[in-house]
Amino acid sequence: MTNKNNQHVFRLALLLGLFSTLGPFTIDMYLPAFPEIVKQFDTTASLVQLSLTACLLGLGIGQLVMGSLSDVYGRRNPLLISMAVYVAASLACAFSPNIGLLIAFRFVQGFAASAGIVISRAIARDLYTGHELTKFFSLLLLVGNLGPLVAPVTGSGVLSFTTWVGVFIALALLGIYLLTMTKWRLQETLPSDLRRPSNFVQQLRNFGSLLRDRQFAGYMLAQGIMIAGVFAYVSGTPFIYQNIYGASPTVFALLFGSNGISLIIGSQLVGRMAHRVSEHAFLLLGLWLACLASVAVLVVAIVHGPLFALVIPLFFFVAAIGITSTAAFPLAMESQGHMAGSAAALLGVIPFLLGAVVSPLVGIAGEDTAVPLGVIILLTSAAAMLAYFFLVRRSPRGAA
């Protein structure tokens, strides 16, 4: 491949990677502002965390809808409309007069952001196949995994000179940039003759068939439940680090970002060692590591140990997520070539839906205890382990 082609591929990967980071930025960038939003609206931690739940629901449901629409109407027009909606929803969040409207607009914002995630991957599939697709996806993942690292730091930077309102204005500006890039730099990659009419009934049948496949369901739940534990961590740590341990928004962002590094380490470990160690072995390693780390988090929370004693096991817990999600995805997709799109959609949606359920539970006991976080991530780790053993290990095919 020539230098010119390499530069073109890298620029495209960078642009599509920015669309894929829209989800992490939408989720994470306002996290340092959680305590400020509680005071602004004179509300509770759980209600503010419910705004995160609404965003996760929008991101999950939106992937199913926007992915299907892009198969029918092409990639570019749905992406243009979604980015315009994202800008409007971000501004609506910024000027919400109460917590109820903030929660509602966060759902719309998440729904619009989901288009960036799912359509960027669809564009990659349109353009590349085989080893070239694998290489291109590795570039997308490299950019996408930077989102959880950069978003909270960016959010705390914005908060250093303005209020939480400024965070959503910054997200609106990001949406305007992506809208402009879609309009002027992104070409349609799905010709009209390759588009297909939507078949809602067949799509439901595909989903039903996948959910009845014990092995697929086991991998899907193992991955989805584990990632739901991460959303509990995302929802709870802004209050735990800042309210309980007195960390500033900047220190919180640095601690949160360090666990983004652990996520990258976990996923890259699987990718680099896949030819030597099986995905099943890595999946088990990740599940056991998550269980042990979550036990340590719960113990530290109960005895109210020092901050470093909480940060260390959380670092390993998030690393375990990187390991399990990277290992479970190819295992789940291995035998689903005949309906890979439906399988990928379910694997993408389930974590957001489960995360939406557990996120508000972290604040159920108030803002001054980390015990609910420890309990929730321990329960999610144990449930993921059970899903693997009872659905995968005991399926007719078993685990290789």
pLDDT above 80: residue 375:
yes
pLDDT above 80: residue 271:
no
**How high is the pLDDT of residue 310?**
93
323 pLDDT tier (thresholds 50, 70, 90) = confident
**How high is the pLDDT of residue 227?**
85
Q: Mean per-residue pLDDT for 172-191? A: 89
Listed by start position, the domains of the chain span 1-198, 203-400
Domain 1-198 CATH superfamily: MFS general substrate transporter like domains (1.20.1250.20)
pLDDT above 90: residue 170:
yes
What is the tens place of the pLDDT at every residue in 285-303? 999 999 999 999 999 999 9
**How high is the pLDDT of residue 340?**
53
Q: Mean per-residue pLDDT for 270-293? A: 86
- Report how far residue 292's alpha carbon sits from residue 285's, in angstroms, rounded to the nearest whole number: 11
What is the tens place of the pLDDT at every residue in 329-344? 777 766 654 555 567 6
Q: Pick the residue with more confidence: 133 or 176?
A: 176
pLDDT above 80: residue 259:
no
CA dihedral 231, 326, 267, 146 (to 10 degrees): -50
Domains 1-198 and 203-400 share a fold: yes
**How high is the pLDDT of residue 225?**
92
pLDDT above 60: residue 2:
no
Q: Pick the residue with more confidence: 125 or 381?
A: 381
Please say whether the beta carbons of 297 and 373 come within 8 A: yes
- Report how far residue 120's alpha carbon sits from residue 111's, in angstroms, rounded to the nearest whole number: 15
What is the tens place of the pLDDT at every residue in 39-78? 989 888 888 889 988 998 898 888 888 877 787 788 899 9
100 pLDDT tier (thresholds 50, 70, 90) = very high
pLDDT above 60: residue 399:
no
**How high is the pLDDT of residue 394?**
65
Task: Compute the mean pLDDT over every residue in the chain, rounded to the nearest whole number.
Answer: 82
Q: Which fold has domain 203-400?
A: Growth Hormone; Chain: A; (1.20.1250)
Q: Pick the residue with more confidence: 203 or 318?
A: 318
